[in-house]
């Protein structure tokens, strides 16, 4: 069963220095052609299941005009919504307005994810962001004014010349907004981005680790659960949509470069706008073997702090987790831990998680 949908809106009103997502400068003429192709793709692939989570990401969905958003929501009405749907929309403080928010709320959006990234002007400039913290506070108020209370904030850290003191200020400012969820990202510098072209360098691994520790400490101190390597939530506010990915469950992905996982096939749509508009949606397809499925289940599942439930794993895959790969070996080395229900990466090893997960790649 496929009960989750990701929709990609590849337009932004300005382009950030670090961003490698599939996105283009907002272009009025292009948006309707794009939405028409999106509609065509959904009509071809959606099989009428009840949808429990929708995530509209980008790009910046909130940079569409009110009329374009109305059309987008008309398209989304195709889906059969579960009564308890989690419906998230990514927004940027620059383009969010009360009118757009009212439209979102009327169309059942009940979770907002806002890119705040930093609250310090110097760092926002480095990232190429066109907002400051006072604008973020204003937009948070508007979100609450329309009655949406489930709000995620994105934070980027490990920036050039950033100190632990700067980061602490970012964390405290973000906490003052009272979000229900915080996603944190250590800055990645990709070659094709402005930072990459300028050959900007990452901060030292040592400082990066100290920053990660500071984030974990401060957020836990303020009542946030650390439930995935980079994600924190107030109890009961974990992202249900992202848990679908980490639990290796099925999902539809519609739009440019969107990924889907259905009946053991992982597909990634083309990232060529020209091809997408011509109706050639597919980019790559990977038909998974049993080994691949298990490998994905481990790599994704161990991202969760609680790890993987042994019984559920057996029920789903018919294999005992402890009999797989080098799990016993990693347990012996202390790189994995076990309790009555789960196997998980211990807290003090989460930072080196990637070097542990590498054990399961292509096994």
8 Å CB contact between 5 and 51: yes
Residue 112 touches ligand SAM, criterion: CB under 6 A: no
Residue 19 touches ligand SF4, criterion: CB under 6 A: yes
Helices 28-45 and 66-76: crossing angle in degrees, nearest 10, is 0
- Least distance to ligand SF4 from the beta carbon of 60, Å? 5
Neighbouring C-beta atoms of residue 251, cutoff 10 Å? 20
Cis peptide before 59 (omega within 30 of 0): yes
Residue 184 touches ligand SF4, criterion: CB under 6 A: no
Residue 257 touches ligand SAM, criterion: CB under 6 A: no
Helices assigned H by DSSP within the chain: 28-45, 66-76, 98-106, 121-127, 133-145, 164-176, 194-197, 205-221, 240-246, 273-277, 290-301, 310-317, 327-332, 353-357
Residue 88 touches ligand SF4, criterion: CB under 6 A: no
- Least distance to ligand SF4 from the beta carbon of 92, Å? 5
* Rounded CA separation 90/115 (Å): 8
Residue 253 touches ligand SF4, criterion: CB under 6 A: no
Q: Which one of ligand SF4, ligand SAM, none is in contact with 15 (Cβ closer than 5 to 8 A by kind)?
A: ligand SF4
- Least distance to ligand SAM from the beta carbon of 286, Å? 23
Q: Which one of ligand SF4, ligand SAM, none is in contact with 154 (Cβ closer than 5 to 8 A by kind)?
A: ligand SAM
Residue 117 touches ligand SAM, criterion: CB under 6 A: yes
Site track 109-138 with ligand SF4 (rule: CB under 6 A), x = hit:
------x-----------------------
Among 15, 75, 305, 335, binds ligand SF4 (CB under 6 A): 15
Q: Which one of ligand SAM, ligand SF4, none is in contact with 41 (Cβ closer than 5 to 8 A by kind)?
A: none
Alpha carbon distances (Å) from 90 to 124, 204, 245, 274? 18, 31, 17, 24
Query: What are the residues facing 225 on neighbouring strands?
Result: 233
Beta strands 181-186 and 4-9 are unpaired
Residue 187 touches ligand SAM, criterion: CB under 6 A: yes
DSSP structure string for 244-262 = HHHTT--BEEESTT-EEEE
Residue position matching structure tokens 């702090």: 305
Residue 62 touches ligand SF4, criterion: CB under 6 A: no
Q: 23 or 267: whose CB is closer to ligand SF4? A: 23
Tokens of 253: 């992905």
Closest of 158, 153, 115, 137 to residue 16, by C-alpha: 115
Residue 188 touches ligand SAM, criterion: CB under 6 A: yes
Residue 162 touches ligand SAM, criterion: CB under 6 A: no
Question: Exposure of 200 by Cβ count < 10 A (0-12 exposed, 13-18 middle, 19+ buried)?
Answer: middle
DSSP structure string for 89-130 = EEE-TTT--HHHHHHHHHTT--EEEEEEE-SSHHHHHHHT--
Among 53, 60, 233, 270, binds ligand SF4 (CB under 6 A): 60
Residue 18 touches ligand SAM, criterion: CB under 6 A: yes
Closest of 62, 65, 69 to residue 90, by C-alpha: 62
Q: How many residues bind ligand SF4 (CB under 6 A)?
A: 11
Site track 54-93 with ligand SAM (rule: CB under 6 A), x = hit:
---xx-x-----------------------------x-x-
Among 11, 26, 37, 115, binds ligand SAM (CB under 6 A): 115
Q: 9 or 324: whose CB is closer to ligand SF4? A: 9
Binding site for ligand SF4 (CB under 6 A): 12, 15-16, 19, 21, 23, 58-60, 92, 115
């Amino acid at each position: 069963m496929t009960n989750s949908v990701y929709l990609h809106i590849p337009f932004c009103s300005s382009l950030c220095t670090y961003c490698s997502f599939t996105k283009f400068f907002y272009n009025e003429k292009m948006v309707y052609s794009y939405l028409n192709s999106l509609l065509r793709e959904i009509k071809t692939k959606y099989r009428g299941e009840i949808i429990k989570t929708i995530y509209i990401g980008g790009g910046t969905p909130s940079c569409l005009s009110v009329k374009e958003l109305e059309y987008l929501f008309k398209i989304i009405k195709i889906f059969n919504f579960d009564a308890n749907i989690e419906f998230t929309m990514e927004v940027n403080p620059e383009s969010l307005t009360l009118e757009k928010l009212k439209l979102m709320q009327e169309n059942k959006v009940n979770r907002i994810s806002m890119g705040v990234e930093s609250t310090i002007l110097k760092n926002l400039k480095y990232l190429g962001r066109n907002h400051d913290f006072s604008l973020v506070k204003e937009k948070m108020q508007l979100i609450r004014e329309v009655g949406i209370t489930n709000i995620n904030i994105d934070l980027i850290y490990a920036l050039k010349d950033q100190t632990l003191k700067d980061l602490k200020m970012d964390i405290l400012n973000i906490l003052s907004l009272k979000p229900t969820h915080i996603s944190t990202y250590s800055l990645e510098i990709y070659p094709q981005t402005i930072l990459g072209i300028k050959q900007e360098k990452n901060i030292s691994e040592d400082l990066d680790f100290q920053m990660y520790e500071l984030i974990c400490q401060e957020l836990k101190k303020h009542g946030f659960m650390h439930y995935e390597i980079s994600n924190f939530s107030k109890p009961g506010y974990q992202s249900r949509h992202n848990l679908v990915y980490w639990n290796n469950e099925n999902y539809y992905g519609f739009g440019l470069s969107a990924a889907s996982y259905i009946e053991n096939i992982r597909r990634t749509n083309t990232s060529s706008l020209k091809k997408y508009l011509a109706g050639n949606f597919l980019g790559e397809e990977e038909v998974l073997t049993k080994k691949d499925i298990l490998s994905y289940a481990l790599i994704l599942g161990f991202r969760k702090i609680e790890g993987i439930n042994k019984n559920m794993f057996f029920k789903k895959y018919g294999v005992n987790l402890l009999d797989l790969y080098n799990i016993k070996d990693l347990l012996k080395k202390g790189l994995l831990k076990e309790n009555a229900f789960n196997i998980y990466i211990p807290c003090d090893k989460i930072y080196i998680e990637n070097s542990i997960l590498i054990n399961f790649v292509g096994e």
